Every structure is written in structure tokens, then in C-alpha cells.
Amino acid sequence: MLNFLIRRLFTAAASLLGISIVLFAVLALAPGDLFSELITNPAIPPDVIESLRKQFGLDEPIHIRYLRWLAAMLQGDWGYSYTSRIGVDQLILQRVPTTLFIVGLAQVLALAIALPVGVYAAMRPYSLFDRLASLLAFIGFSLPTFFTGLLFILLFSVYLDWLPFIYRTNITATGWQWAWEMFRQSVMPITVIGLALGASWTRYVRSAVLDVIRLDYVTTARSKGLREHVVIIKHVVRNALIPVVTMVALQIPAIFGGAIITEQMFRIPGIGSLLISSLLANDTPVIMAVTFVFAGLVILFNLIADLLYGWLDPRISYR
Amino acid sequence: MQEDELRRLVDATRCSRISRRAFVQRMVAAGISAPIAGMILAHNGVAFAQPINAYKPTKAGGGGTLKVLQWQGPTLLNPHLSSGSKDWHASNVFYEPLAGWDMEGNLVPILAEVVPSLENGGVAKDLTSVTWKLKKNVKWHDGTPFTADDCVFNWEYASNPATSAYSISAYRNTRVEKLDPYTVRISFEKPTPFWADAFVGSRGMIIPKHLFEAYQGAKAREAPNNLKPVGTGPYIFVEFKPGDLLLGKINPSYHVVNRPHFDAIEIKGGGDAVSAARAVLQTGDYDFVYNMQVEEAILKRLEAAGRGKVEVVPSGHIEHIQVNFADPWTEVDGERASPARKHPILGDKAVRQALNLLLDRETLQKVVYGRDATATANFVNAPPRYVSKKNSWEFNIEKASALLDGAGWKRGADGIREKDGKRMKFVFQTAANSLRQKTQAVFKQACEKVGISLELKSVDSSVFFSSDPGNPDTFGHFYADLQMYTSPVTQPDPALFMQQFLPEQVSHKGNKWQNRNVTRWVSKDFEEAFKAAESEVDPVKRTALLIKLNDLVIEDVVVIPVIVRRILAGMKKNLVAPMSPWDTYVWDLSGWYLEA
């Protein structure tokens, strides 16, 4: 077990290094200029832009810039954002809580839909409920979030005028008033992400439960005279959830990526919108850091999923 | 407008036979921008108009929170180091200049007691210096008094090349000295007719000496106060999250009585232009949004909700087609479009004139652009009522055809014109953008009717507007026959703007294509007129010279102006907010209020 962990950590470090090289090279080779807004402005002399380039070290060759970045990163220095001269780690920390709040609640919502609906549909396969659930699930994951988001804004903000579509981080109210305001502004983005996620998870839970529910030990449990809900909860769902848990863990980093569009649409100041605005501004240190964090999350959750799997299913052993 | 005619008008204004406003309007109609007109009067002893003070509230505060959407959120709050207009706007909430520009181009004193003029002795007769008197009751938000030392410091800070300040061109080649604690004098190396640059407008915002003294030169970008402004403005800094949120609260000891009206200000960033316009015009969640780049049809629908209004701010930002005077298809010493080699077809003036006649500006303005643009024949465009006396545009396919026939360009077998084996095929490039693509298509259609083949190319704007010497698709390389983009006009004085046609500014391999003359047009007349304007002391003569610069460029069809941009501001129905194309949108923030 320990051996396995060490080996995995070693490969993780190697993958991260590889990822960082590819990322850095792609960003350096991609077109775009930090100073593009200044270039067309006749009031700004070209020599100012030139001297800034020097100050930021942008005039050096790619490999030197990469090594400098790597050396700083290894010492825990994430660098500065070119556009706001604030530490990148600070900038990311400012954005993380909001993303966690929205994405976390969206996942809870998705699970709250997927688990009961999926299990119930699997208990009565091809019944009316199952067909309806399948239909809705297919609709749910074929509609992209930018479409459902717009639809929600149009319905709830424009026509009904119930909910705001701009997410604010400076709500001054306290107590219940604060909670109510938070609910009003976050319910739309959470539902948008949650529904898309819940739709695919429902299908997954359904098929996992279907696999288990036909096994002999379930028939044994039933013939022992256990009541149906005990059979389902204690014997079926517990076993069926093993692959589901792995999948949820594996999808967590992907959700951060998926939230980019939703964040942009509702002006949620999360990691995703930070990535978009730094991409538009060609703010390399921030882009590097955010994508690197994403990469790190993917690797971390892969590892967690592997470990969880073994813990949940003792038949798996690590070698 | 002739020089003597100008002088008669100035005299008439001085003797109050015509109003100052009428004078400015006539100047504007003749193609002289309002700020210049104002400076002409100031030079001739007619003081800048006292702006009509429409501000109604009788006490400071009480207006609630002013909620502003700025879809490109600010990232840095030091006006000297900010890299774009998004930051200048945000900095202006806290920092102020000595004077700002209003809509009609009048200088309005902000931190200065009065605007200097020849009459009050502020402007030296030979135009080599200007003396500003500062207000005495101004305090920085931390309580330290604002004095002449702060002004001197800002000059030192911004003119230091190691600081790499974006405001450097306003301060270098000047000397600023303190005459007494509330008087500063700016001296210029040579007579400077447009003296209102340092300490004025968006590049003139003043930062406090006591907080930035330790962070000059190369260390400038490390100052903690770059993100925590301590200014003199109507609002005190509360919180800043780069790219997302900026909060300010009322400054109880603001230096103008009864101002400001709002108790707090909130600037929210992020998102897209359409939803920003929607939040102000349709749902009324926010009070103000600047620069709505939203298609006319959508804008009309949003406006129909009746919660907000759209205010049009005419600007000088010019969308234009540039003609390449160098040959982009032959390589000379490792570079295409080398200034050493003339363009074989576009070198013919008749061809350029024909192209100018083939641009259907009317359709473009009506169908493509809508309210946020006006068709124009000029490169330098003044405030809204601008109608040039000399230059006009027309769309005339027959005339273009006749011009080409006359110059010996005959249609070949496939309908494309040719002469001496040179076929009239052009590549027309622009930065990818749906409006520009439509403009390209309209132009192509007209060109094909007269036998000019146009190949359209659109380059991603992050490539097009980059200064990468290795990328052949930037606007600076101009490896095409024609190209189109918008040049922003941030300064009320066109001299700096017209630098881009000087021979010394020609863009080529030697300067890594960083210089601004990308058409590679070289004209002795233009250079002479430019040099003459630079040293001209008499503002009337200088104005005539500046107009000549525009006319030379237009007459030789170096550029084909398409439209001049107008900026659309969306605001709450009862919000009164004076706008100005020459300054930031918050230049008069302390004067914003809600009508009862």
C-alpha cells in the first residue's frame, strides 16, 4: 500500500513537470501580446512598451523563462500577475471560495437528484418513471450550460423579474437577510451546473444499481424476508455506489473546468472567470498557475479515486 | 476655414457679439475639435467658459449606492502604471487631475483653483511655461494635505524612464517646479501650444508623494498602494478584488461642497457586453454601464423595458482602411512590404481614389453599425456635430470605374482589370470581428462590380494587435494590400495622433515593425506642415496647420476613413452623469446625481 502510494506520487510529480513544460511552451508560442491595447494607442511611445517587456523578462528566450518560472515555483513562489502586480497565489485564493461554494453545492444538488432518481428507476426498469427519468436525463445532458443558463436568465430575471443574474460578493446584509440574498443570486448558477451534472449521474447510478440488483445475494437477502427498503439501501445501493464514488471523485476537477462558462455568464468571480480574463489579457503567470492547479487537481483526484476504490472494495489490492 | 476668418470670429467672441458656445460650434463645424477651439479662445483672452453647474443636490450624500458595471474589470489602480482604459476609469474614482475635459472640450478645474490662461497670467506669452494654482483645502484620504510637492513628485515619477509609466509622454521633455506650496510651474523645452497635457485628464491624475516616494523607477510596480489607492477624489477606497469588484465610500471632507451625492460606489467587473447592457437597461439591477458594444437591434429591445436610457458620447476613434504604399508581395532584404519598394498598383493615386469611392459608408452606418458610429471622410474627427467643409464622401461605382478607365486599367478576359501585366487583385485584412467582416463583404461586393478582385482575410485580434516581430500577420507588418482597424483618439490634441504619418515613423524590419507609420506613406508636405505645427506659437495658425495634416492624408488617400465611433453609455432613467469623450467616464463623478 505504502509502496503503491510512493510510486504513484513519483509518477504524479513527473506528470506535473511534463504538463508544465507543455503548458509553458503552448502559452509562449501562442499568439497574443500583453501590451496589445497599448500598441494601437499613439499616446504611448513604443520605447515604454519595450522597457516594460524587459522589466517583465519577456525579452528572454522561452527555455530561460521556463527555468526561471520552475525555480520560483519549486520554492513556492507563484509569481506575480502582470496586469495587477498581485501575487498569483493571493489572486487564486481570492477566487477559490466562490468556486467551491457554487460547484460544491451544484454537486450536492446533482447527487440529491441522481441518487434517488437513479435508484428508483433501476428498481423498476422500463416502467413509466424510468422512461420519464431517462428522457429528462438525456435532455439534461444534451443541453449545454450556456443554453440553460441563458434560458434561466431570460425566464427568471427578465420575464418574471424574480432573481438577479449578476453574482455579487459584497452583500452587506446580515443573518437571514444575507442567506436569502445569497440564495437568490446563487440558485440559478447552482441549478444550471447541478442539472447538467445530475442528468449524467442519474444514468450512471441507474446502470450501476441495475448491475447489482440482479445478483444472487440480493435474491438471498429478499428470500431471508428482509424488507425491500433494507435490501435496497443496505445491500444494493452500498455495493452499487462503489463505481459511482470513483466517478464522482474523478469528475471533480472536470467540474472546475465546466464552471468556466457558467461563471462568465453569471459574473461569478471564481477560478474559471479568472482564467478567462487572464487569457484575454495574456497574463501568463496567472494562466500558468490556474491551469497548473487544474492539472494538479486531476492528478490528485485520480489518486484519491484509486485509493478510495481499494478501500470500498477489498477485492482490489495494490501492488 | 481661413486664418483671417478665424480671427474675425475670435474677435467677435471677445467682444461678446457671438457667444462662446456659438464660437465653439462653428469651429467644430469647420473641423476644429472643441478642446482646440477652447484653447484658441483662451489664448486670445477669452476665458474658458464656466461650465453651467447643473448639480442640484443641496447636501453631500443621501443618494445610496451607485452601482456601475464595467465588463472589463479593473486590475490595477495606479493611473501611471495602468495598462488600459479599464484601469484609468477605475483609478479616476479615487485620484484626480488638476483639471478635466468636459463634453465640449472645456478645461474644468478639479484640483486647480482656476484654469490657467493668458489673461490670468497662468500661461506664458511665449507658450514655454504654464503656472497652475492649486486648491488649498484639498486633503488626501489619509488626512495629509495636498500640495505642490505632490505635483512635482508626479512629474519625477512619470518622467523617469525606469518607471515605464504609460503617462510618460505627457511629462517627459518638461520641467515642473514648485513656486510656493500651492503653485507649480511647468516649463517646456520649446513653445507648446497644447500645454494642457501634464496633470490634465486621464493621464494627469495625481498620486500622493508620501505613499509612493519609496517606489520610484524600477520598483514602481511593487508599491502596495497600487492596489489600495489613497487619493483626493469623492470616494474613499474600501475594497478591491482585481478583475471583479471595486468598492468606495463617500469622502466626507471632499473639496467641493455638497458633493458627492452617492454614499458609496460599487464597480463590478466581468461578464459580457450584452448582459451588462441588459442589467442596466432592461432589469435595472445596475445604474450605469459605459461603452456598450451591443448591436442596435438588441439595444432597442433592451431599451423598450423603459428602465434605463442610452446616452451617446461622440468620440474620435476612427475605423479606417489603410492603403499599403509598399509592395507586400516582394521580399527585399528579408522583409516584405519594404519601404524601399513601392506598391506596383496602389502606388497609382487613381486606384486609391477609386477605392475610396467604392466604400458604401451609408449602408455600413445604417445596416452594420447603427447608433454607435457615424460615417466620415476625415481621419481626425472632432465632437458630434462635425461636418467637414473640405472633405466629403460619396459612394459612386460609375465614377470609380471611369477613374480606373482613365488611368489605363482595362478589364481583362475574366473581368478583372489589368495594366502592363499587373492584375488588380488585392488582399484586404482585418482583425476578426463580426462588424468588420460585414464591412469587408460590403466593400468586396462594390469592388467586384468595377473589376477589382478582393481576397478577404481576417486575423485573430490577439495576433493582429500584437507586436511580435516574428508574426507576419500583425498590423505593424502589414503584409497585405489593405487593412482595417480602429485607432483610438485619447487626446484632444491631434498632433500626437498625426505622428503616425511621419517618415521617421515608418514601420519596417529595422525597428522590428514597432513604429506607427504602417502605410509606409512618405510625404515632404506632411512632414513640413507637421514640423511647422510643432513650433507654431499662434494657435490660429497652428490649428490651420493641423487641419492641413488631415487634409493631406485624405487628399492622397493614404487611409480610407470608414466610420467614427460613438460611445454608448447606458444609465438609469433619472441618473444625471456628465460624460466626455476626452476623459474617463468618471471624470466628473462628484457631479453625478439622481433626479428626484
Q: What is the DSSP letter of A153?
A: I
Taking CA–CA distances from A32, the nearest residue in chain B reads: B462
Q: What is the mean pLDDT of residues A112-116?
A: 91
Secondary structure E strands in B88-148: 99-101, 107-109, 129-133
Which portions of chain B are predicted below pLDDT 70?
1-53, 382-389
CA distance to partner chain A, nearest, from residue B291 (Å): 16
Strand partners, B265: B66, B248
| Most B CBs within 10 Å, among A26, A34, A36, to test the B interface | A36
Q: Which residues on chain B are in Cβ contact (under 8 Å) with A34?
A: 83
Gyration radius from chain B CA atoms: 25
Q: Is A269 close to B270, i.e. CB distance below 8 A? A: yes
Q: Which residues on chain A are in Cβ contact (under 8 Å) with B159?
A: none
Residue A305 above 60 pLDDT? yes
Q: Is B488 close to A41, i.e. CB distance below 8 A? A: yes
- The rounded distance, in Å, linking the Cα atoms of B466 and B514 is 10
Sheet holding B129-133, edge to edge: B129-133, B183-188, B174-180
Strand partners, B321: B484, B560
Q: Smallest Cβ distance to A36: which of B465, B490, B511?
A: B465
Interface of A with B in 17-36 (CB under 8 A): 31-36
Query: β-strands B235-241, B183-188: how paired?
Result: unpaired
At residue B455, the 3 state secondary structure works out as strand
Structural contact between residues B570 and B310, judged by C-beta atoms closer than 8 angstroms: yes
Query: β-strands B338-342, B373-375: how paired?
Result: unpaired
B398's CB contacts (< 8 A; 6+ apart) are none
pLDDT of residue B31: 57
Q: Smallest Cβ distance to B169: which of A43, A165, A281?
A: A43
Which residue has cell 480610407?
A: B560
| Grid cell of B152 as nine digits | 512635482
Structural contact between residues B208 and B215, judged by C-beta atoms closer than 8 angstroms: no
Element (H, E) at B269: strand B264-269
pLDDT of residue B385: 34
Q: Which long-range contacts (CB under 8 A, 24 or more apart) does B474-478 make?
A: B474/B513, B475/A40, B475/B431, B475/B518, B476/A39, B476/B507, B476/B513, B476/B514, B476/B515, B476/B518, B477/B336, B477/B337, B477/B507, B477/B513, B478/B322, B478/B324, B478/B326, B478/B328, B478/B337, B478/B507, B478/B518, B478/B519, B478/B520
A59 at the B interface (CB within 8 A)? no
- The rounded distance, in Å, linking the Cα atoms of B158 and B174 is 11
Q: What is the mean pLDDT of residues A224-228?
A: 84
pLDDT of residue A218: 84
A277 at the B interface (CB within 8 A)? yes
Q: Smallest Cβ distance to A36: which of B241, B466, B516?
A: B466
Q: Is A264 close to B271, i.e. CB distance below 8 A? A: yes
CA distance to partner chain A, nearest, from residue B586 (Å): 20
Residue A303 above 80 pLDDT? yes
A301 at the B interface (CB within 8 A)? no
Q: What is the mean pLDDT of residues A305-309?
A: 79
A160 at the B interface (CB within 8 A)? no
Higher-confidence position of A37 and B439 = B439
At residue B314, the 3 state secondary structure works out as strand
| Grid cell of B416 as nine digits | 478583372
pLDDT in tens, B199-255: 999 889 999 999 999 998 888 888 999 999 999 999 999 999 988 899 999 999 999
Taking every pair of C-alpha atoms in chain B, what is the biggest distance, in angstroms?
80
Residue B357: which of B519, B558, B547, B557 has the closest Cα?
A: B557
Buried b (16+ CB within 10 A) or exposed e, A190-204: bbbbbbbbbbbbbbb
Q: Is A277 close to B270, i.e. CB distance below 8 A? A: yes
- The rounded distance, in Å, linking the Cα atoms of A263 and B361 is 39
CA distance to partner chain A, nearest, from residue B169 (Å): 7
A55 φ/ψ angles, rounded to the nearest 5 degrees: -60, -40
Q: Smallest Cβ distance to A157: which of B83, B283, B461?
A: B283
Q: What is the DSSP letter of B395?
A: -
CA distance to partner chain B, nearest, from residue A83 (Å): 6
pLDDT in tens, B180-203: 999 999 999 888 888 888 999 988
A166 at the B interface (CB within 8 A)? yes
pLDDT in tens, A141-162: 888 888 999 999 989 988 888 8
Q: Is A51 close to B164, i.e. CB distance below 8 A? A: yes
pLDDT of residue B328: 94
A288 at the B interface (CB within 8 A)? no
- The rounded distance, in Å, linking the Cα atoms of B98 and B111 is 4
Question: What is the rounded (10 degree) CA torsion for A125, A129, A135, A139?
Answer: -120
Q: What is the mean pLDDT of residues A208-214?
A: 86
A38 at the B interface (CB within 8 A)? yes
Q: Is A39 close to B162, i.e. CB distance below 8 A? A: no
Q: Which residues on chain B are in Cβ contact (under 8 Å) with A33?
A: 462, 465-468
Q: Is A44 close to B169, i.e. CB distance below 8 A? A: yes
ipTM: 0.82
Q: Is B241 close to A81, i.e. CB distance below 8 A? A: no
How many beta-carbon pairs below 8 A join chains A and B?
Answer: 152
- The rounded distance, in Å, linking the Cα atoms of B498 and B520 is 14
CA distance to partner chain B, nearest, from residue A281 (Å): 9
Q: Is A31 close to B76, i.e. CB distance below 8 A? A: no
Q: Smallest Cβ distance to B245: which of A55, A91, A269?
A: A269
pLDDT of residue B386: 33
